Amino acid sequence: MDGKVPSSVERDLRGLRLARFAPYLFVLLWSTGFVGAKYGLPYADPFIFLALRVFIAAIALLVAARILKAPIAIGSNSIVRSGIIGVFLHAFYLGGVFFAISKGVPAGVAAVITSIQPVLVSVLAIKLLGEKLRAIQFVGLLLGLTGVFLVLGPNIDGSVSLIGIAAVFVALFGSTTATLLQKKYGSGIPMLAGTAYQYIASGLVLTCAAVATQGTHISFTGKFIGAITWLVIVLSVGAVLLLLWLLNTGSAASVSSLFYMVPPATAIEAYFLFGEKVNTQGFLGIGITALGVWLVIRKTI
């Protein structure tokens, strides 16, 4: 570069390339949440596990905000909005998924149910946010849903826990509501502080849930420490901040469609990490899902 300062055009091009890469980075990071849960849940009850995770993440974000001289005092209205979004996104969604897995619901079943979220968000966003869904995006949503069921359908049987399945639907409700609220009210809230307040509010709710269910056991084994470290740094800090940034810069429908890619990505990770097999139907589903997501996001993110 010969010491030259990049021009505004060069900076815009770099920013565009990063923006195009960001959705796929989010899918990669978010998909590891099921892997972290599988490693950590044998050593801790689900709600106290999540409460510890989000409180540590809140401290990390507040420290980062202080170091970067980002605003921490963001006003009571923004704190309340952040808290409400956080309860739905972290307490309801993550709490529901972790509780379901702790009750024996296969991660694949949980992923199938929560992957209905893009359809719900897309339909509700038309009414609540005034977003428009192009015909090709609608086709992409249907393809994504079809691909997810192809990947994980064979894992569904009639022996799963009913209370666990109910918890997954609570998670679905939480993630859908949080996505819509973030898109409608969260764009003007400073990201570091706002996310920290999300975690504080959800941590309080999760702690109450842990006490109410008498689920406060934690064994600080090496695997548990490794799992919670990964979940805090990669998921609660990296992936969540990336999700909020994507919601602030793209449509709710296009960002939500990325969740279709999470189950296939998790299936691939489980194959390499745990030896779980992916059959021909699974690989077909992964391809169909990828095509569906591309159709939804190709001109919106």
What is the per-residue pLDDT across 142-168, written as a single tens digit (0 to 9) for each? 887 787 777 666 655 555 678 988 898
Beta-bridged to residue 218, according to DSSP, are: 44
Answer yes or no: pTM beyond 0.85: no
Expressed in angstroms, the distance from the first to the final Cα of the chain is 29
- Cβ atoms within 10 A of the Cβ of 213, count? 13
pLDDT of residue 157: 57
Average pLDDT over residues 14-41: 78
Domain locations in the chain? Answer: 31-133+158-251
Residue 277 has pLDDT above 70, yes or no: no
What is the DSSP secondary structure assignment for residue 234, as one 8-state letter? Answer: I
Give the highest mean pLDDT range of 24-33, 116-125, 204-213, 292-301: 204-213
Give CA–CA dist 47/214, Å, rounded: 10
Give CA–CA dist 294/257, Å, rounded: 9
Taking only Cα atoms into account, the Rg of the chain, rounded to an integer number of angstroms, comes to 19
pLDDT of residue 299: 56
